[in-house]
Chain A
């Protein structure tokens, strides 16, 4: 939806969780309380010039800090920067927590599956289930010596944990445990694509309704800040850049041209403006298929140029 505001948070602590995973704790630099979040939420972190999403590992209830656990996935890119460059005391640019992998409040029981670094959102679900006394069971698949947060999972899950070392053991554990869950259980899994495929196949074979099977696949936040482009206003002949992270509406208003607006979310239809030339990346909920094909108008609060230039009939 809207491009979320970035905030700078202070790194209060960094700790090695395994050889390749480090936990980073973040707090507000002025000691203000942090926003709560739904279990399974993620933070989008700007690190070394790239934006990456990392799951928050806490229960999300009035959190004292934000904790993310970062697996090093290469020698350059965001995760390497977070491992090699970031130090305690630094400020880190993050967008507020986003939720795309929530527990089902109405579930009779939660069946949680973690593989590898996929344990991070599962830990969050587990902590929340324990905080509210909701029935829960965890299957955690890992490679020996590389199990992030294993002690915390063991402590929180107690007898409701099945550990599986290696892929074969994990497949067996899934087949066995998914066959015996009570009706009304919701299953949530996070891990590498191959494990998610295994999980959905096992669920299908065991007759789980698809609506009770949930996967965490990291995706870009609902609306990306978008690529920069140049906007031209045909009637006034003005031309100005629209940077990434700035909406076309904001840019037009800044240029001193009045356009009505209300929701700034692409739902109310107020900021409709006529297009004079250029292809449009429509990102609103108002225009239908036919409108989009015709592309004579766009909603300036969310939609952008599909290419490098866009001309409006303003």
Chain B
């Protein structure tokens, strides 16, 4: 055990439960899906026991989501035929919140289609009739989105393809639900380099279309962000884009974050839609460097990452500075 491990024996939860995504020193795109609901251990702890992970940022993430939705209602998109899927997603999310934190969330069936939802963290109590819009203060997606730290996208399956026909996205890594709504799964992935000739997206599409009711899988994706900023949507690029270009001489360890998305893929039971949940975790390099295995691994991955992938992820301007910082922190 190294000196650093001893010093940090009690790593804070944000580090211990961080979903560090690199199994090897090189990173390439792949159809990296695995069954959900199984803890995965890392050099610092573990993550992934539940589909939904409620952490210290719950209340502030919720407020940020609600504020973004109020300021820009187009963050929520829903084609009219997706209402059954939206109800299905709401009930699923409530059930998973309860499963993760039974002390904080309650979901009871009162008989027939009547349900009672309790969210002690946000002080919400709501009775509703499944499928009856009049029994909720807003549509089901709008109601549930600020109560979960994940973004939600709903895909309808028809004509041999999946279509992103609804969603609430307030923490996008440089994309936009308003732009993507109504697109097919392959169209959405159009801008991603490498994945098409390598068949990664085709395989993922086939896999998703065969998901059976109640099956839940997960994968991770990653990029980097300057500052602890969840919302890096295309719409607000003028607010966050320039940060990417700042010279990061000082404070680089505090300002540069590894941004990891834990994505869940679930076939919803009664609507048959696929629910895509995206949870974004941000860890500043200075926290990451407290775990020596992570620091070395991330430096190696960043250094080796091919130019086209680094470009697509928007890392070009600070990648070598980040590598130098990580090596220097050793």
Question: Which residues of A come within 8 Å of B, CB atoms?
Answer: 1, 4, 33, 35-39, 41, 59-62, 96-99, 102-107, 128, 131-132, 211, 222, 262-265, 267-269, 285-286
Interface check B175, CB cutoff 8 A: no
13 additional A-B pairs beyond A105-B156, A268-B34, beta carbons within 8 Å, are A36-B88, A38-B213, A38-B269, A62-B130, A97-B214, A103-B272, A104-B158, A132-B131, A264-B34, A267-B203, A267-B207, A268-B32, A269-B31
CA gap between A105 and B166 in the complex, in Å: 12
Return the contact of A268 from the options B33, B109, B212, B269 (Cβ within 8 A): B33
Residues of B within 8 A of A211 (CB): 159
Chain B interface size, under 10 / 10 to 19 / 20 to 34 / 35 or more: 35 or more
Q: Mark B152-182, 1 if CB is under 8 A from A, else 0.
A: 0000111100000100000000000000000
Main SS class of interface, A: loop
A86 to chain B, nearest CB (A): 25
Q: Is B91 an interface residue (CB 8 A)?
A: yes
Residues facing A in B186-224 (CB within 8 A) are 203-204, 206-207, 210, 212-214, 217
From A38, A105, A131, A285, contact of B82 by CB (8 A): A105
Query: Is residue B313 contacting chain A, with contact meaning CB distance below 8 A?
Result: no
Asked whether B113 is an interface residue with its Cβ less than 8 Å from the other chain, the reply is: yes
A36 shortest CB reach to chain B, Å: 3
The reply to whether A35 and B269 contact each other, CB–CB distance below 8 Å, is yes
Q: Are B131 and A61 in contact (CB under 8 A)?
A: yes
21 CB contacts below 8 A, A to B, read A4-B212, A36-B213, A37-B270, A38-B270, A39-B270, A97-B212, A102-B272, A104-B158, A105-B82, A105-B273, A106-B156, A128-B84, A128-B270, A222-B210, A222-B212, A263-B33, A263-B34, A263-B217, A265-B33, A267-B207, A268-B30
**Interface check B51, CB cutoff 8 A:** no
Is B85 interfacial (CB-CB < 8 Å)? Answer: yes
> A43: shortest Cβ distance to chain B, in Å?
11
Chain B residues positioned under 8 Å from A222 (CB to CB): 210, 212
Q: Which residues on the B side are within 8 Å of A103 (C-beta)?
A: 272
Q: Are A37 and B31 in contact (CB under 8 A)?
A: no
Residue of A nearest to B269 (CB): A36
**Nearest Cβ distance between residue A34 and chain B, in whole angstroms?**
10
A293–B259 CA distance with the chains assembled, in angstroms: 42
Interface: B46 (CB within 8 A)? no
Whether the pair B212, A96 counts as a contact (CB closer than 8 A) is: yes
Q: How far is the CA of A61 from the CA of B79 in the complex (A)?
A: 21
- Tell me how far the C-beta of A312 lies from the nearest C-beta in chain B, rounded to whole angstroms: 23
| A281-B12 Cα distance, complex, nearest whole Å | 49
* Cα A128 to Cα B83 with chains together (Å): 13
Cβ contact within 8 Å between B81 and A105: yes
Flag if B212 contacts A1 (CB, 8 Å): yes
**B272 CB contact (under 8 Å) in A99, A132, A262, A267:** A99
Say yes or no: B32 contacts A262, CB within 8 Å.
yes
Given contacts A38-B269, A128-B270, contact A99 B213 (CB under 8 A): yes
A272–chain B nearest beta-carbon distance, Å: 12
Interface string of B207-243 (1 = CB under 8 A from A): 1001011100100000000000000000000000000
Count A/B pairs, Cβ under 8 Å: 109
Which residues does chain A contribute within 8 Å of B113, judged by CB atoms? 61-62
Which residue from chain B places its CB closest to the CB of A106 in the assembled complex? B81
Minimum CB–CB distance from B263 to chain A (whole Å) comes to: 14
B271 at the interface (CB under 8 A from A): yes
Given A1-B210, A41-B213, A102-B157, A61 and B33 contact (CB-CB distance below 8 Å): no
Query: Using an 8 Å CB-CB cutoff, how does the interface string of B259-281 with A read, 1 for contact, 0 for none?
Result: 00000000111111100000000
- Give 3 nearest A-B pairs by CB, closest first: A36-B269, A38-B272, A106-B81
Q: Which of B79, B156, B203 has the most CB of A within 10 A?
A: B203
Q: How far is the CA of A168 from the CA of B186 in the complex (A)?
A: 45
Q: Which residues of A contact B268 (CB under 8 A)?
A: 36
Are the CB atoms of B270 and A285 closer together than 8 Å?
no
What residues of A have a CB within 8 angstroms of the CB of B270 in the complex? 36-39, 59-62, 128
Chain B residues near A132 (CB-CB < 8 A): 83-84, 131
For residues 106 through 129 of chain B, which have their beta carbon under 8 Å from a beta carbon of chain A?
109, 113
**In the bound complex, what is the Cα–Cα distance between A286 and B204 (angstroms)?**
10
Q: Which of A96, A97, A106, A264 has the most CB of B within 10 A?
A: A106
- Contact between chains at B271 and A285 (CB < 8 Å): no
Closest B residue, CB atoms, query A286: B203
C-alpha gap A99/B30 in the complex (Å): 27
A265:B131 contact, CB within 8 angstroms: no
User: Which residues of the partner chain B approach A61 to less than 8 Å between Cβ atoms?
Assistant: 113, 130-131, 270
Closest B-chain residue to A4, C-beta based? B212
Q: Which of B246-296 contact A (CB under 8 A)?
A: 267-273
CB B316 to nearest CB in A, in angstroms, measures 29
Question: Closest CB-CB distance, A18 to chain B, in whole Å?
Answer: 28
B39 within 8 A of A: no
A62 close to B109 (CB less than 8 A): yes
Question: Whose C-beta in chain A lies nearest to the C-beta of B32?
Answer: A268
Name the distance in Å between B193's Cβ and chain A's nearest Cβ.
19
Interchain CA distance A102-B34 in the complex, whole Å: 25
State whether the Cβ of B306 lies closer than 8 Å to any Cβ in chain A.
no
B176 to chain A, nearest CB (A): 22
Whether B35 is near chain A, meaning CB under 8 Å from some CB there, is yes
Chain B residues with CB under 8 A of A37: 213, 269-270
Task: Name the B residues within 8 Å of A39 (CB-CB).
Answer: 270, 272
In the assembled complex, which residues on chain A have CB atoms less than 8 Å from the CB atom of B35?
263-264
Q: Judging by beta carbons under 8 Å apart, are B34 and A262 in contact?
A: yes
- Inside 8 A of A106's CB, which chain B residues have their CB? 79, 81, 156, 158, 165
